[in-house]
Chain A
Amino acid sequence: MTGATREEILEHVRRAMVELFEIDPEEIQLDTRVVEDLDLDSIDAIDMFVELHEVTGRRIDVQVARKIRTVQDIVNLVESELASAGASSSS
């Protein structure tokens, strides 16, 4: 899904989270905090990274992943991963 807009990425993340964690889609906004608001834990994080890995085709760096606080951070991460995936495949 290279070239996806931020809205498309958010929509994808939202769908994944709804499916994985049984969360109401309305609860998932860009400024939603994943731990405090959605009550996600480390097991969820692992599931989420597996999912993101499938989307971006790239391994998510644990150090980067640790800094994730909000849904916005996830969208940013996917966006940058997609961008660098696109860059490395076109070169």
Chain B
Amino acid sequence: MTPDATQENRIPVFSYEHRLPRPVWLAYRALRLVLVSSAFVWFWGGAFLLAWTVLPALALVARDPRRACQRVVRAAFRLFHGYMRVLRLIDARFVTELPRTSGPVVFVANHATLVDVTAIMSQLPDVCCVSKSVYASSRLVGRLLALSGFIDAGTSLTERAKSMDVAVQRLAEGSRVLVFPEGSRSPEGSMSEFRRGAFEIACRAKVPVVPLYLRCNPSALRKDQRVWQQPDTVAHLTIEVGEPIDPAEYGFRSRRMRDAVEAQFRARITSAARRDEMVEEAARPERGAG
């Protein structure tokens, strides 16, 4: 057997390698790679076009430029996810009822895949997402992010302090804020430690935190997965909306709140990952024998 991507990577990628004749599988793999790449092209190309045509024009004429741009971007994200769903790349769904639209909250989510941001924002209106500085200062999407209300997390102490002020301000304006408190995508089947910013924002603004529990099975577009290491079947991204958590319960102390919410996430994520593993093991009994 030749070493391939699935072996290089310690964590196996869901593959049809042992279910299909090799030439058929290779052809299928190539097709999948083209489809995945096309989604990337659509995303970056679309973001670039929007950021340099529709959005700046809209920002000039709209009464509320940020929210107007957000609506356009939300429609674009919906289109993007429709595209990926039709091509059987990623099927993103809210498995619980959408949270009621009224009132500012901080959405907190584990970062299961690259496209969970777009999946969440395609469904929830008036959401400002806190994003890494590399994206905010990117030539391709930086402009789009700035126009449509994304908040640059910053890198230095002063920038971070400022980003929290901006988030609190947005909440005061009645918008919602989305934070991935791990600060980056989660490792396979688990979660990095939560940072405190999201909870500090909620405590200062005195608004509830609403957990969004994400699960992507099989895993796709994880941080350690290259473009050619995507699963051979559609990845199901499920988004579960949890009960709102009031910062008053923790005396508006963000550290306590962080610890409690992180524990809640950890319990869910690890038990869900274990369940996925067991299902997968059961599905391929001949793997070890060959």
Q: Which residues does A use to contact B, with CB under 8 Å?
A: 22, 41-43, 45-46, 49, 62, 65
Q: Which B residues touch A46, using CB under 8 A?
A: 157, 160-161
Residue of A nearest to B160 (CB): A42
Q: Which residues does B use to contact A, with CB under 8 Å?
A: 156-158, 160-161, 164, 195-197, 200, 253-255
Given contacts A41-B196, A43-B197, A43-B200, contact A22 B253 (CB under 8 A): yes
CA distance A46 to B253 in the complex (A): 16
Residue of B nearest to A41 (CB): B196
CA distance A43 to B161 in the complex (A): 7
Q: Which B residues touch A41, using CB under 8 A?
A: 195-196
CA distance A42 to B253 in the complex (A): 15
Q: Which B residues touch A62, using CB under 8 A?
A: 156-158
CA distance A46 to B204 in the complex (A): 14
CA distance A42 to B254 in the complex (A): 13
- Name the prevailing secondary structure of the B interface residues: helix
Residue of A nearest to B158 (CB): A62
Asked if B254 and A43 make an inter-chain contact with CB atoms under 8 angstroms apart, the answer reads yes
Interface centre among A22, A42, A43, A49 (most CB of B within 10 A): A43
Task: Give me 16 A-to-B residue pairs in the complex whose CB atoms sit less than 8 angstroms apart, sorted by A's number.
Answer: A22-B253, A22-B255, A41-B195, A41-B196, A42-B157, A42-B160, A43-B164, A43-B196, A43-B200, A43-B254, A46-B157, A46-B160, A46-B161, A49-B157, A62-B158, A65-B157
Q: Which A residues touch B195, using CB under 8 A?
A: 41
CA distance A65 to B156 in the complex (A): 12
Residue of B nearest to A65 (CB): B157
Asked if A45 and B157 make an inter-chain contact with CB atoms under 8 angstroms apart, the answer reads yes
Q: State the Cβ distance, A20 to closest chain B Cβ, in Å.
A: 11
Q: State the Cβ distance, A87 to closest chain B Cβ, in Å.
A: 26
CA distance A22 to B251 in the complex (A): 12
Q: Which B residues touch A42, using CB under 8 A?
A: 157, 160
Q: Which A residues touch B161, using CB under 8 A?
A: 46
Q: State the Cβ distance, B225 to closest chain A Cβ, in Å.
A: 29
Q: State the Cβ distance, A62 to closest chain B Cβ, in Å.
A: 6
Q: State the Cβ distance, A77 to closest chain B Cβ, in Å.
A: 15
Q: Which A residues touch B200, using CB under 8 A?
A: 43
Known: A46-B157, A46-B161. 18 other contacts (CB 8 A): A22-B253, A22-B255, A41-B195, A41-B196, A42-B157, A42-B160, A43-B160, A43-B164, A43-B196, A43-B197, A43-B200, A43-B254, A45-B157, A46-B160, A49-B157, A62-B156, A62-B157, A62-B158
